Amino acid sequence: MDFEIKKEDWANFFKSLSRRRYEWKTRIEVFNSEIGDQVLSEGLSFNGITVETIGGRTSIDLSVGEHTESHQTHNFQNPKKVAFLAAADNHSDVIDIEEHDGTKTLITFVEPMGIIIGFIEEQVAVAVG
């Protein structure tokens, strides 16, 4: 299901998303007619998204990466649209942030994979007769 988030709900939406998707791996892509389509990062952990409104202008800050050498912050000044694109399999949700010049940034969240840390062998007795 894809839906646009109302501007007045951006702060609460991103606060909730930041808790639910913290440390998930991300892929950040930018689509712009002047610079073309570019992948800005892939595989960096999600730290959070915050929204700040001052004097009628809104900014959205996205933070990804675990260490100073891989950390990135992306700032969106007065974006016009935010949409949530839910994955059919619930494993790759996408946030679409659109700016006034037509630039679109897609943030894809990749669900962490579980790790098998051991197994238990069990025997089942079957009664015959």
pTM: 0.80
pLDDT of residue 119: 59
Strand order across the 72-77 sheet: 2-5, 81-85, 94-98, 104-110, 25-32, 36-54, 57-64, 72-77
pLDDT at residue 2 in the model: 73
* The amino acid at 61: D
Do residues 105 and 125 make contact, with C-beta atoms less than 8 angstroms apart?
A: no
Question: What's the pLDDT tens digit per position in 21-78?
Answer: 999 999 999 998 888 899 999 999 999 999 999 988 999 999 999 887 788 999 999 9
Q: By C-alpha distance, which of 117, 83, 116 is closest to 99? A: 83
If one compares 121 and 31, the residue with the highest pLDDT of the two is: 31
Structural domain boundaries in the chain? 2-110
Mean pLDDT value of segment 84-110 = 87
Instruction: Give the number of C-alpha atoms closer than 13 A to the C-alpha of residue 116, restricted to the C-beta side.
Output: 3
Rounded Cα gap, residues 48 and 81, in angstroms: 18
> Is the CB of residue 82 less than 8 Å from the CB of residue 5?
yes
**Check whether domain 2-110 has CATH 1.10.287, yes or no:** no
